[in-house]
Structure 1
């Protein structure tokens, strides 16, 4: 009997457990079904109502005046930023152009100065145009080295040498340099008055340490005497590793010249020539009838480089050029610095003479314009009058200051008849 009651209780317990398990399973299933059918809950708001509610507060559907003002402000900021980015792009393009130029020169140097190699196919062989620069030596002039490091841009600058005799022209010179926006320029003052004048006008200035020979000429000398000094003075600039654009004081700057240089030669100089033939060279036939069949002799001619405006790189041939000119001008009684400048650049080696192995380039005579080109040709030509040169050098005329002012009036102020009162040549 006891065994029978035990089995009955066991069966009842098993049946009760099965019902509980079944209830749990049914509950889980029901929960899953409700969760699927009512994801937002039994008592949630109407989904469509929620959607409508969200649409009603969407800021995109109802712009406030405050937000419009913010958008306008953002547009103005973006516009300003766009202008700045364009400026930076221009600067980067210029740096890229210079970098590619330097890279090309370096590649030429490596190829030419490396181990001997075979010549390439016809038309592909290129000789070295650009001599390597010297190793800078700041011990030559530490004071000047400090000034140049502050004034120069990419180791380049314009240099003008002046004394009190040219003070009025110097003012026109640096005033227009400032207008163009050129920052890398320096006046080498030959007397105290010019130092004070430059400082009072916020013009970068440098005065050499006392030098009896240079001081006596620099303080009292005229244009030609001062012009001869520049070759000796410039030597230190090159030794310090800087490329110099040497400028006489009778020059009006209308554009930044550093944007128009090639930098592929030891010397780039403006020309005294007035057309393609005279500026860049031509075959001139000399006629000697007494020679009969051989009466015609062909000669090569080119008008001289102007020693008042040239770009010179810090290379060994460049420094040798300055040394040769300084020596000849200092020892030859009738030596004119411009004539010596050209003779040393162009005369080839021959018996008894070793020529200078310097590369040279002639500047575009319409961009780097002398006053003969301007007053004899350009001002009379309707098309050429529209051209804006980089500089105008009043080298052909003695009335320099009034012509410099007229150049400014014509090209900067837009005065159409500013050049008309002057004769072609000098009176």
Structure 2
């Protein structure tokens, strides 16, 4: 039997068919692979959720950045990171505590500074009659770099960051001697003379009186050396600024004043400015309702006005606060632009005038001193010396501000209150002649 024998054409067709099947199988495999890659990008058994479009943050420790990191190493790095974070939180807490302690240390113990501790807090209004508002401003942070030489001197002279300060040139040498002699007799340790010329500096040194001579200043040295009472008085507002910037409260004093008690024992310290008054009774010293009568207005003829006699710019206690420094700046600026202005008038205008269109008033608290304790010479010569009861009172200071014959009246006051001469004041008229 003869076997079947395929021809060349059949062999070629079979080979072509097998090749087509192989190509088809490869194409199907590629398509299936693409489909599975699209549907299961992390494999069939991936446990992590998709992180498409998510970028891991870069940190200094790069925990788990390498697939070769052991679990122990990763845990150790995580533990270190937590420890560093906890230490950072603790350091921030310590810094906040130290900052708060420093802030509290810079606040004094007086009533005004205690009140400052509640600033910034919101409070509900209490029952009727119990609500009290804040009356003072916080003290400034001292800046010793303002005047290191003065700062060093004040550390030695001041008591509880307070002192009496007086400005003097050689024109008032006699009154200055009575001034510091009365201070020494009372036993007041914290006082300082700002010498405006070399003669006063040498005079104070020879009498063991604390003295400070300013560095040369061409702008005001000519006034300091040769100026009269009003001219020199205007300089104090510029000079006092450095004392306040250094964080010291100043009892500014003219030299036509006799001290009979320590004034620091009679201050309230609850206001930015605490000043003696030019008033001579309760109404003029502390304020009153003055009725203005204008008959032409008929039914509305009476207009009520509030009046108070001015504060004396020759004796006032001023605390180192922002409003206090602003007051000094305002007065000094106006006096520089208005050379004929009286410093006491400008001082009171800036302290009392309220805000109004075109003008921002000064937001400073103020207190009027007891006019029988911090006495002006009008009260003494017109009223006190003639009254049997009042003449037995012992004032804290007496300011000879109402009379031009200052030196003889100052000596008579010492003779009356210190030496006990009951006739020492009798020869003087009530006013000036």
Matched, 1:254 2:260: yes
Corresponding position of 1:372: 378
Distance 1:104 1:199, change over 3 A: closer
* 1:250-272 C-alpha deviation (Å, 9 max, x unpaired): 00000000000000000000000
Corresponding position of 1:328: 334
Aligned-residue offset at 1:354: 0.1
Measure, in 1, the Cα distance between the counterparts of 2:326 and 2:345: 16
Structure 2, unaligned stretches of length 5 or more?
Answer: 1-107
Match of 2:186 among 180, 190, 215: 180
Matched, 1:304 2:310: yes
Structure 2 counterparts to residues 13-92 of structure 1, below 5 A? none
Structure 2 counterparts to residues 195-344 of structure 1, below 5 A? 195-344=201-350
Measure, in 2, the Cα distance between the counterparts of 1:320 and 1:131: 12
Matched, 1:425 2:425: no
Match of 2:408 among 402, 413, 417: 402
Structure 1, unaligned stretches of length 5 or more?
Answer: 1-100
Measure, in 1, the Cα distance between the counterparts of 2:386 and 2:121: 56
* 1:377-417 C-alpha deviation (Å, 9 max, x unpaired): 00000000000000000000000000000000000000000
Aligned-residue offset at 1:117: 2.2
* 1:11-53 C-alpha deviation (Å, 9 max, x unpaired): xxxxxxxxxxxxxxxxxxxxxxxxxxxxxxxxxxxxxxxxxxx
Measure, in 1, the Cα distance between the counterparts of 2:110 and 2:228: 43
Distance 1:297 1:328, change over 3 A: same
Measure, in 1, the Cα distance between the counterparts of 2:294 and 2:350: 29
TM-score by length of 1: 0.76
Aligned-residue offset at 1:120: 1.2
Corresponding position of 1:115: 121
Measure, in 2, the Cα distance between the counterparts of 1:343 and 1:106: 27
TM-score by length of 2: 0.75
Measure, in 1, the Cα distance between the counterparts of 2:110 and 2:211: 33
Matched, 1:150 2:156: yes
Measure, in 1, the Cα distance between the counterparts of 2:124 and 2:160: 36
Secondary structure of the 1:102 match is: coil
Matched residue count: 327
Match of 2:368 among 362, 369, 379: 362
* 1:103-154 C-alpha deviation (Å, 9 max, x unpaired): 543442223x133221111111111111100000000000000000000000
Corresponding position of 1:85: none
Measure, in 1, the Cα distance between the counterparts of 2:218 and 2:183: 31
Q: Which has more helix, going by share of residues?
A: 1
Matched, 1:382 2:395: no
Measure, in 2, the Cα distance between the counterparts of 1:140 and 1:213: 18
Corresponding position of 1:105: 112
Between Structure 1 and Structure 2, whose CA radius of gyration is higher?
Answer: 2
- Residue 276 of structure 2 contacts residue 316 of structure 2 at CA under 8 Å; is this kept in 1? yes
* 1:207-233 C-alpha deviation (Å, 9 max, x unpaired): 100001211000000000000000000
- Residue 276 of structure 2 contacts residue 368 of structure 2 at CA under 8 Å; is this kept in 1? yes
Q: Which 4+ runs in 1 deviate beyond 4 A?
A: none
Measure, in 1, the Cα distance between the counterparts of 2:420 and 2:355: 49
Secondary structure of the 1:285 match is: strand
